[in-house]
């Protein structure tokens, strides 16, 4: 089966982060962790959070961040809300179950009468969102906003001195950050980053999830949660993700007839500074061609590929070839996007 190439060009992008960057030294001091150990085993220097880390009070929502990033992307694309035919949002952490955050953002942007689609996803959500947008453009829509992001506020329990810290949750405080990336995509023949192909495959095949994030309802509050909010198998993630990243890159390049040397900008998975560096080395692409943000943003889940694309869009020369690789460990999803900078 051959899936046709989408007439999708990225003509604008924007990002949004809540509050100030919180240095890892500050997190380490609060949690009484060794900074040298964190730098060696995690490799993240700072992250933004949509909560006050001392009190847990929420300071931003996915809706407000999504609006900010989308407004920037529209301005970069020299378009207005009136030009938008649809909105797609990928997230693991919607502000509410209903209304969808996609609809909250659409309303915040002043969109009326257009359809929205909110994709529930993790690290591979950006690929799913680009595919949905590309398919909508293929059926006659002209221009859409595609947003991806996460906000961990509802799950963020501040760990303060003098209070017991759940050891299993410690690393999450260092790994994850909040942020949103937004793209404007169009079927019009414009200069920008043209999507040449995507790859998106659920590969669990019966394997246990590598990551679980749960939500609680009134019944859980009433009777007490039945389960922990998170479960990760970091051993399985460390073992499988680099190989999956290599496989999906090769598959993407094979289908385009590109070699690894042809890739001008490689956007690798952004699990942690250390994991990302290891994956880039394994892929054999020169480090200077890799576009990384995880050291300064933390792992922002769905947002990362769009944050990376926002950086590439501002530096890519005409003709540059771009490969996005992401892996979602939840059900072992391999994602990839091949793009080319066109005049």
Q: Does 316 bind a copy of itself (CB under 8 A)?
A: no
User: Smallest gap, in angstroms, from Cβ of residue 303 to a copy of itself?
Assistant: 15
Among 202, 243, 262, 319, which residue sits at the site for a copy of itself (rule: CB under 8 A)? Answer: 202
3-state secondary structure of 13: strand
Residue 159: CB atoms within 10 Å: 18
For a copy of itself, the closer of residues 155 and 289 by Cβ is 155
Q: Which of residues 1-40 bind a copy of itself (CB under 8 A)?
A: 1-4, 6
Report whether 247 contacts 334 (CB < 8 A). Answer: yes
For a copy of itself, the closer of residues 43 and 94 by Cβ is 94
Among 48, 104, 265, 295, which residue sits at the site for a copy of itself (rule: CB under 8 A)? Answer: 104
3-state secondary structure of 200: strand
Please give the Cα distance from 26 to 24 (Å, whole number).
5
User: Smallest gap, in angstroms, from Cβ of residue 81 to a copy of itself?
Assistant: 12
For a copy of itself, the closer of residues 264 and 328 by Cβ is 328
HSE at residue 158, side-chain half, CA atoms within 13 A, is: 14
Query: Interface mask (CB under 8 A) for a copy of itself, residues 210-229, using x and -?
Result: -xxxxxxxxxxxxxxx---x
Residue 162's region, left for phi above 0, alpha for psi from -120 to 50, else beta, is left
DSSP 136-195: HHHTT--EEEEEEEE--GGG-----TTS---HHHHHHHHHB--EEEEEEEESS--SEEEE
User: Smallest gap, in angstroms, from Cβ of residue 150 to a copy of itself?
Assistant: 10
Q: Which of residues 137-156 bind a copy of itself (CB under 8 A)?
A: 138-142, 153-156
User: Smallest gap, in angstroms, from Cβ of residue 336 to a copy of itself?
Assistant: 12
Backbone angles phi, psi at 302, to 5 degrees: -55, -30
Among 126, 279, 290, 333, which residue sits at the site for a copy of itself (rule: CB under 8 A)? Answer: 333
User: Smallest gap, in angstroms, from Cβ of residue 273 to a copy of itself?
Assistant: 22
Q: Does 157 bind a copy of itself (CB under 8 A)?
A: yes
For a copy of itself, the closer of residues 297 and 302 by Cβ is 302
Query: Interface mask (CB under 8 A) for a copy of itself, residues 64-103, using x and -?
Result: ---------------------x------xxx-xxxxxxxx
Q: Does 162 bind a copy of itself (CB under 8 A)?
A: no
3-state secondary structure of 271: coil
Strands 321-328 and 333-342: antiparallel
3-class SS letters over 65-92: HHHHHHHHHHHHCCCCHHHCCEEEEEEC
Among 36, 206, 288, 343, which residue sits at the site for a copy of itself (rule: CB under 8 A)? Answer: 206
């Amino acid at each position: 089966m051959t899936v046709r190439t989408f007439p999708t060009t990225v003509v604008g992008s924007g990002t949004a982060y809540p509050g100030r960057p919180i240095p890892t030294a500050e997190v380490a001091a609060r949690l009484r962790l060794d900074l040298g150990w964190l730098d060696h085993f995690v490799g993240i220097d700072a992250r933004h959070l949509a909560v006050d880390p001392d009190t847990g009070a929420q300071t931003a929502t996915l809706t407000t961040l999504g609006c900010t990033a989308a407004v920037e992307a529209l301005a970069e694309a020299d378009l207005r809300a009136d030009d938008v035919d649809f909105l797609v949002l990928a997230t693991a952490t919607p502000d509410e179950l209903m209304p969808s955050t996609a609809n909250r953002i659409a309303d915040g942007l002043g969109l009326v009468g257009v359809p929205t689609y909110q994709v529930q996803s993790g690290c591979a959500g950006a690929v799913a969102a680009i595919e949905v947008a590309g398919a909508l453009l293929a059926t006659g829509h002209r221009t859409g906003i595609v947003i991806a992001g996460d906000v961990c506020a509802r799950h963020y329990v501040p760990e303060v001195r003098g209070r017991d810290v759940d050891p299993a949750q410690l690393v999450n405080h260092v790994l994850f950050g909040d942020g949103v990336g937004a793209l404007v995509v169009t079927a019009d023949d414009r200069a920008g980053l043209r999507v040449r192909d995507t790859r998106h495959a659920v590969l669990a095949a019966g394997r246990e999830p590598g990551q679980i994030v749960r939500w609680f309802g009134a019944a859980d509050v009433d009777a007490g949660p039945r389960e922990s909010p998170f479960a990760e198998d970091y051993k399985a993630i460390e073992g499988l993700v680099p190989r999956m990243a290599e496989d999906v890159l090769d598959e993407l390049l094979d289908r385009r007839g590109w070699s690894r040397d042809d890739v001008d900008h490689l956007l690798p998975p952004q699990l942690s500074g250390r994991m990302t560096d290891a994956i880039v080395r394994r892929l054999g692409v020169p480090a200077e061609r890799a576009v990384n943000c995880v050291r300064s943003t933390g792992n922002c889940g769905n947002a990362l590929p769009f944050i990376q694309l926002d950086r590439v869009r501002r530096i890519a020369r005409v003709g540059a070839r771009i490969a996005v690789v992401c892996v979602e460990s939840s059900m072992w999803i391999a994602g990839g996007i091949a793009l080319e900078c066109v005049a």
